[in-house]
Chain A
Amino acid sequence: MSAIGQPVHETIVSRPKAPPQPRPVARRRPRPRAWRVAILVLTAIFYVLPLVCAVKFSLINQKGTYGPQNYTAIVDNGTLSAALVLSLEIAAITAAVAVLLVFPTTVLVRLKLPKLTIVMEAVTILPIVVPPVVLAAGLLQMKETAPLWVVNDFFNHPVTILAPMYVVLAMPLMYRAIDTGLRAIDLHTLVDASRSLGAGWPTTLWRVVLPNVQTAVLGGMFLTIALVLGEVVIANQLDQSTLTFPLQMLEFASQDNAPGISVAMTLAALLFTFLLLFSLSFLARRRGPRAARVVG
C-alpha cells in the first residue's frame, strides 16, 4: 500500500473540472427547524438507547456482577481469539480481492465502456437482494456433486470457501464506494496526462488513479470488514469445523448460554468499524467537499 500514500497528482486533479466550489456563504445559514430536530432526536433515541442497554448488558459478567470479563474473554479465550484472527484474515483477503476486481473494472467502464455502467450497477446490486440462504443452498448442492479434490481444497477450509462468497456480498458496497470516488475526480484528464507522460496502464491505475480515490477505496474496504465481521448465514449453513467470529457470537448465545459475551463481541466489532469509517471521514474532508461522502 506504500504507493497510496504518495500524493503526487492530487493537485492536478481537483483543479480542472471541479473548480474549488465556492462555499455557500451567501446562502442564509439555515436555522435548525423543528421537524429536523424532532426527527434527529427520535432516531438518535432509537439507535443510541439499545446501544447503551447493550453496553450495560455486556458489562454484567457470568456471576451477575459488573466487570469487563466479557470483553477480556475475546482475547483470553483461545477459541474466541482464534475465531477473531480467522475472521480478520478472511476480511483482509475479501477486501483486497474485492478492490482488485472492482477498481480496474470500474475505471475501464467509466473510461471506455460507459454503456456498461448499467450492467455494472445491475450485477453489483444483486447481492443485496439475492438471499444468502439461497446462495448457501447452491453451495451445499455444489459440494455434493463436486470432485473430491475440490471439496478438500476448496470447500473444507473456511478461508477458501468464505472469502470468495464474501467478495460477492461486498460487491454492492465496494462498487458504490469506488464509483462515487471516481465520479468526483476528472478521470479522463488524469489518465490522459499520466499516459502521455509515458506511464503504462498498471502504473496509471496504481500510482495515479488509486491515490486520488483512496478514501473511497478505503471506505469500501472498511465496510467489507464490517460485512465479514457480521455475516453468519452462509458460514452457518456450510457447517465448518472452524467457526468464524460472528458464528462464535451465535454459539455463545445459544450453546454456552453466555449472551453477555456475544453482546460484547458485537459492540467491539461495531465500535471498531465505526471508528475506522469515522476517522476516514476526517481524511475525506481534507480532500475537498466532493470526496466527503465516504459511504454510498
Chain B
Amino acid sequence: MSAVTSPAAPRRRGARRIPVTWLGMLPFLLFMAVFLGVPLYVVVHGALTENGHLTLSYFSAIFTQSQYLVPLKNSLILSLWTSLGPAVIGLALAAAVVAGPRDGVLRRVVSSASGVFAYFAGAPLAFVWIASLGTLGVLTTFFKSTLGYDLAQHFDISSQLGVGICYFYFQIPLMVIFITPALEGLKPEWEEAARNLGATRLSYLRHVAAPVLAPSFIAAWLILFGSAFSAFATMLALDGCTQVVVPCKIYFEMSNNVLTNSIPFGLALGTEMIGVVGIVMIAYWYVQRRAGRWLR
C-alpha cells in the first residue's frame, strides 16, 4: 500500500506530477509482470529457441502434423458450442432476473450463485455431474432401475457432449456476471419512449434493445469463448484427458519428457494458445469500446 501514498504534489506542472503518481501503479504492474508476464514469456521463448538460437521448427511441426492439428480443431469446435450456447442461455437468464425487483431474493440468490459457480472452475463442478450422470451416477442408476433404460450405453460423461455439459455449468453463470451490467444499463425510459411512439414490444426489442446490447453480448461471448478454450480442469476431473484438445496435448507433452524431447512442442502449443487467446482479446477490445457508448 505504501507506494500509493506517494504524496502526489498537488497541482504542480504535469511533467513533474505524472511520474510520481505513476509510481503507485508499480506494485500492481510489477506483480502481474512477474507472475503472469514472465511465465508466458518463458513459454514463447522456449518454443522459439533450440540450444540458444532461434528456430521455427517446433512451430512448423505443430502446424503441419495432424497429431497437433487435430487437438486445435477439436478445441475450437468444443469452445465454439460451449460458448455460444451458454451465451444465449445466460442472456435469457440474466434478462429474466433483471426484469424482477432490484433487491429481491431471486436476484441475490442468482448473483451469489453465479459468482460461486463461475469462479469455482471446472474440477469440483465436474464431480457434481459425475455424481449425476456418471456410470454410477444417481440419474443413471435411477433411469436403469425405474425405467429400464441404460443411459451408460448411450451417454458417457467424458464424451464431448458430457464435457460440454460440465462447461455449460460454469459458462452460463460467467455470462450472467458479464451481461447483467449491460442489461441494467437499458433504461426503462427507452422502452416507454418507443411505446409512446407506437412501437410494439417486439419492435422495441429489435430496434432499440438488440442494437444497444449487441456489442456487450459479443464481448461477453468472446470472454466465454476464451474461457472454454483455456479450460482444462474439467478434463482432469473426468479422469484424465478423454478428449483430444490442446490443453490435454500440452499436459502430455510437458509431462512425458523422459522418453522424448517433447517439452518444446508443448511450449509451442502453449504459444499457439496464447495466440488464439490474443486474437480473441483484440476482438473483445474492439467490441467493448463500442459497447461503452450507450451503457455508461
Q: Tell me whether A246 and B124 are in contact in the complex, defined as CB-CB below 8 angstroms, given that A113-B22, A141-B43, A168-B32 are known contacts.
A: yes
Contacts of A82 in B (CB 8 A): none
Q: Which of B204-246 contact A (CB under 8 A)?
A: 223, 226-227, 229-230, 232-233, 236-237, 239-240
Contacts of B133 in A (CB 8 A): 50
Interface hit among A1-9, A12-20, A73-81, A99-107: A99-107
Please, how many angstroms separate the alpha-carbon atoms of A201 and B4 in the complex? 8
Interface check A197, CB cutoff 8 A: no
Q: Which one of B36, B113, B233 lies within 8 Å of A233 (CB-CB)?
A: B233
Per-residue B-contact encoding for A105-145, CB less than 8 Å = 1, 0 else: 10111001100100000110111111111111111111000
- Asked if B295 CB lies within 8 Å of chain A CBs, one says no
| A277 near B229: Cβ-Cβ < 8 Å | no
User: Using Cβ atoms and an 8 Å threshold, which residues of chain A touch B3?
Assistant: 104
Q: Which of A101, A168, A200, A233 has the most CB of B within 10 A?
A: A233
Choose among A32, A53, A136 the residue that contacts B137 (Cβ–Cβ < 8 A). A53
Encode contact with B along A172-190: 1 for CB under 8 Å, 0 otherwise. 0100100000000000000
A167 touches B131 (CB 8 A): no
Q: Which residues of A contact B41 (CB under 8 A)?
A: 138
Interface size class of A (residues with CB under 8 A): 35 or more
Per-residue B-contact encoding for A234-254, CB less than 8 Å = 1, 0 else: 001100000000100110011
B43/A138 in contact, CB under 8 A: yes
| B249-296 CB contacts (< 8 Å) to partner A | 250-251, 254-255, 263, 266-267, 270, 273-274, 277, 280-281, 284-285
CB pair A270–B124 under 8 Å, yes or no, is yes
CB of B157 to closest CB in A, whole Å? 11
Query: Which of B40, B131, B254, B284 is most buried by chain A, counting CB atoms within 10 A of its CB?
Result: B131
Interface residues on B, range: 35 or more
A232 to B138, CA, bound (A): 25
In this assembly, does B129 line the interface, its C-beta being within 8 Å of a C-beta of chain A? Answer: yes
Q: List chain A residues, Cβ under 8 A from B1.
A: 100, 104, 202, 205-206
User: Which of B58-66, B144-152, B177-185 is the interface stretch?
Assistant: B177-185
A292 touches B285 (CB 8 A): no
Q: Say yes or no for B69: interface residue by CB 8 A criterion.
A: no
Pick the contact of A263 from B102, B131, B168, B180 — CB < 8 Å? B131
Q: Which residues of B contact A223 (CB under 8 A)?
A: 115-116, 119
- For A46, what are the chain B residues with a Cβ–Cβ distance below 8 Å? 168
Known: A58-B131, A105-B24, A116-B25. A129 touches B124 (CB 8 A): no
Which residues of B are at the interface with A, using a C-beta cutoff of 8 A? 1-8, 21-22, 24-25, 27-29, 31-32, 34-36, 38-43, 46, 89, 92-93, 95-97, 99-100, 102-103, 106, 108-109, 111-117, 119-125, 127-134, 136-139, 168-169, 172, 177-178, 180-181, 188, 223, 226-227, 229-230, 232-233, 236-237, 239-240, 247, 250-251, 254-255, 263, 266-267, 270, 273-274, 277, 280-281, 284-285
- 9 A-B pairs within 8 Å (CB atoms) are namely A101-B27, A132-B232, A133-B247, A138-B40, A201-B4, A250-B237, A266-B128, A285-B108, A292-B103
The 7 A-B residue pairs with the shortest CB-CB distance in the complex, in nearest-first order = A138-B39, A129-B226, A131-B230, A57-B131, A295-B115, A53-B132, A53-B138
